[in-house]
């Protein structure tokens, strides 16, 4: 008997690699068998999955390049037969005044509905990770986004918490708001508000959310929306729509991975508040740690070889940390000397080559912290697809990949958004695989 492949229901476009695994993690938790690709596949081979996440590295590249890559991903996903498209960005709405969230959203809407037409939402809320939206303002914990550590992000500093205003600066379409009182009233109230906004000429609606229940209500209201743009939180409310139609069966083994083997290591490039705390916790515990100095790299020092030579004799004794994570003042000082773009590229290039060397040295359990760093590392390891495994902290799962760098061996990899995870995340990650 011929085995029939399951046509994917949801096609996702993520603007960085950690965000992709964050989204895939939520879909797996909700019972969707999920495959994540690194970049847009070069073939149209059917993929047997309920959801596909295409991981791009498009958050901080020029807007036109981000648009081109996102449209390519959209075309490939539609060829796979998906019913709904999900454009995923960070729960802290990482962007610049020029984009890329607004320009990519508009390009996708133009492609799907026609120039200037269509209607979609904006919702980076993820209450499990303390990202909530109220009156259109994004909160990180108890403070506005603009008062959080994101204000000092080296690439995408977020100085405005008003998402309606931020989105309106990036799009030609009129931006409106669906307030929390409406969201808490349930799916019918949300749909009615959508209709009212469309009658007013609104093309993009920021949607409040302060709880998982809000996300579940929202999910039902989004059942027939061709394009959803959001952080990963909204994803928890979408699988129920296909379950209600009887086309999605729960999969209890959706997060099963092969047994873990090999050495353990952490590579950290994020300079977020959360990752700084994680690095500090590791160092204060007296665990082995090697600091990468971007200025030394810029001067021509072979820091990659220094780091690998330092790590080699220690790997047999347990996990090691190699990091370029630093406090905002130190990051700013380096940027002032090297330039923002050059400093970032130097760190990414160095850490990705270190990660490649670690895998060649026998590391098979690798934690990577930071979105840009994760993208560079996955590309250096020549990974094409990832299987999503168990969750470590909200939004951060283990994955298993095959890497050409180690002749096709299985490597367990965690791609952690800089802002995610408890202070003991690094230690907790490895204990979960034992």
pLDDT value for 250: 66
CATH code at position 35: 3.40.50.10840
pLDDT value for 127: 95
Is there a single domain that holds both residue 288 and residue 403?
Answer: yes
d(CA 180, CA 263): 47
pLDDT value for 155: 81
Is there a single domain that holds both residue 83 and residue 211?
Answer: yes
* pLDDT higher than 90, residue 265: yes
Tens digit of each residue's pLDDT (9 = 90 or more) over 347-369: 999 999 999 999 999 999 999 99
Is there a single domain that holds both residue 196 and residue 310?
Answer: no
The answer to whether residues 105 and 120 touch, using CB atoms and an 8 Å cutoff, is yes
Q: What is the percent of the chain with per-residue pLDDT over 70, rounded to a whole number? A: 98
How confident is the prediction for the chain on average, in pLDDT? 93
Report residue 331's pLDDT band, with 50, 70 and 90 as the boundaries. confident
Is there a single domain that holds both residue 281 and residue 154?
Answer: no
Is there a single domain that holds both residue 34 and residue 175?
Answer: yes
* pLDDT higher than 60, residue 2: no
Specify if 254 maps to a domain: no
d(CA 265, CA 30): 30
pLDDT value for 360: 97
* pLDDT higher than 60, residue 4: no
Tens digit of each residue's pLDDT (9 = 90 or more) over 121-154: 999 999 998 999 999 999 999 999 999 989 888 7
Is there a single domain that holds both residue 306 and residue 229?
Answer: no
- Domain end, chosen from 245, 273, 294, is at 245
Report residue 31's pLDDT band, with 50, 70 and 90 as the boundaries. confident
Taking alpha carbons only, the member of 140, 115, 114, 105 closest to residue 126 is 140
* Three state DSSP letters for the chain: CCCCCCCCCEEEEECCHHHHHHHHHHHHHCCCCEEEEECCCCCCCCCCCCEEEEECCCCCCCHHHHHHHHHHHHHHHHHHCCCEEEEECCCCCCCECCECHHHHHHHHHHHHHCCCCCCEEEECCEHHHCEEEECCEEEECCEEHHHCHHHHCCCCCCCCCEHHHHHHCCCCCEEEEECHHHHHCCHHHHHHHHHHHHHCCEEEEEECECCHHHHHHHHHHCCCCCEEEECCHHHHHCHHHHHHHCCCCCCCCCCCCCCCCCEEEEEECCCCHHHHHHHHHHHHCCCCEEECCHHHHHCCCCHHHHHHHHHCCCHHHCCEEEECCCCHHHHHHHHHHHCHHHHHHHHHHHHHHHHHHHHHCCEEEEEEECHHHHHHHHHHCCCCEEEEEEEEECCEEEEEEECHHHCCCEEEEEEECCCCCCCCHHHHHHHHHC
pLDDT value for 3: 47
Average of pLDDT values for 5-29?
90
pLDDT value for 6: 75
Is there a single domain that holds both residue 328 and residue 364?
Answer: yes
Average of pLDDT values for 245-269?
87
Handedness of CA 302, 307, 309, 310 (dihedral sign): positive
pLDDT value for 314: 97
Q: What is the percent of the chain with per-residue pLDDT over 90, rounded to a whole number? A: 74
- Domain end, chosen from 217, 245, 273, is at 245
Specify if 203 maps to a domain: yes
Residue keyed to tokens 């800089």 = 418
User: For the range 352-356, what are the long-range contacts, defined as Cβ-Cβ under 8 Å and sequence gap of 24 or more?
Assistant: 352/376, 352/377, 352/379, 352/380, 353/304, 353/380, 354/267, 354/292, 354/304, 354/307, 354/308, 354/322, 355/265, 355/267, 355/380, 355/381, 356/380, 356/381, 356/405
Report residue 328's pLDDT band, with 50, 70 and 90 as the boundaries. confident
Is there a single domain that holds both residue 207 and residue 281?
Answer: no
Report residue 79's pLDDT band, with 50, 70 and 90 as the boundaries. very high
Handedness of CA 335, 146, 232, 80 (dihedral sign): negative
The answer to whether residues 356 and 405 touch, using CB atoms and an 8 Å cutoff, is yes
CATH code at position 358: 3.40.980.20
Tens digit of each residue's pLDDT (9 = 90 or more) over 33-65: 888 999 999 988 898 889 999 999 899 899 999
* pLDDT higher than 90, residue 227: yes
Count of other CB atoms within 10 angstroms of residue 123: 28
Identify the burial level of 216 via C-beta atoms within 10 angstroms of its C-beta, where 0-12 means exposed, 13-18 middle and 19 or more buried: middle
Count of other CB atoms within 10 angstroms of residue 178: 26
- Domain end, chosen from 194, 210, 245, is at 245
Specify the number of domains making up the chain: 2
The domain in which residue 89 lies consists of 10-245
């Amino acid at each position: 008997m011929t085995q029939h492949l399951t046509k994917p229901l949801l096609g996702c476009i993520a603007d960085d690699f950690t965000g992709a695994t964050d989204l895939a993690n939520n879909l797996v938790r909700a019972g969707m068998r999920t495959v994540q690709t690194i970049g847009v596949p070069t073939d149209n081979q059917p993929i047997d999955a309920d959801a596909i996440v295409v991981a791009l590295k498009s958050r901080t590249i020029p807007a036109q390049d981000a648009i081109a890559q996102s449209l390519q991903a959209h075309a490939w996903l539609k060829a796979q037969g998906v019913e709904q498209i999900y454009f995923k960005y960070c729960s802290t709405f990482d962007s610049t005044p020029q984009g890329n969230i607004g320009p990519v959203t508009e390009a996708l809407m133009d492609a799907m509905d026609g120039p200037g037409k269509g209607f979609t939402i904006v919702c980076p809320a993820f209450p499990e990770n303390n990202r909530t939206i109220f009156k259109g303002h994004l909160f990180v914990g108890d403070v506005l986004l603009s008062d959080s550590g994101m204000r000092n992000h080296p690439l995408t500093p977020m100085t405005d918490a008003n998402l309606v205003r931020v989105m309106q600066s990036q799009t030609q379409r009129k931006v409106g708001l669906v307030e929390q009182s409406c969201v808490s009233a349930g799916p019918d109230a949300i749909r009615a508000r959508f209709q009212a906004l469309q009658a007013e000429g609104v093309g993009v609606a920021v949607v409040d959310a302060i709880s998982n229940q809000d996300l579940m209500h929202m999910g039902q209201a989004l059942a027939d929306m061709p394009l959803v743009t959001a952080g990963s939180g909204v994803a928890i409310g979408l699988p129920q729509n296909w379950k209600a139609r009887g086309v999605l069966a729960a999969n209890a083994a959706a997060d099963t991975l092969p047994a873990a083997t090999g050495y353990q290591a952490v590579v950290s490039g994020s300079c977020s508040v959360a990752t700084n705390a994680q690095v500090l916790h590791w160092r204060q515990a007296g665990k082995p740690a090697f600091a990468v100095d971007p200025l030394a790299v810029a001067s021509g020092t072979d820091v990659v070889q220094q780091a690998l030579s330092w790590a080699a004799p220690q790997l047999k004794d347990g996990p090691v940390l190699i990091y370029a994570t630093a406090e905002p003042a130190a990051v700013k000082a380096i940027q002032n000397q090297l330039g923002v773009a050059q400093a970032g590229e130097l760190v990414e290039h160095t850490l990705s080559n270190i990660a490649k060397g670690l895998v060649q040295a026998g590391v098979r359990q690798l934690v990577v912290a930071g979105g840009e760093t994760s993208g560079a590392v996955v590309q250096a390891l020549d990974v094409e697809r990832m299987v999503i495994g168990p969750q470590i902290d909200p939004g951060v799962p283990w994955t298993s990949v095959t890497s050409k760098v180690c002749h096709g061996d299985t490597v367990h990899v965690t791609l952690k958004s800089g802002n995610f995870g408890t202070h003991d995340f690094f230690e907790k990650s490895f204990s979960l695989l034992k």
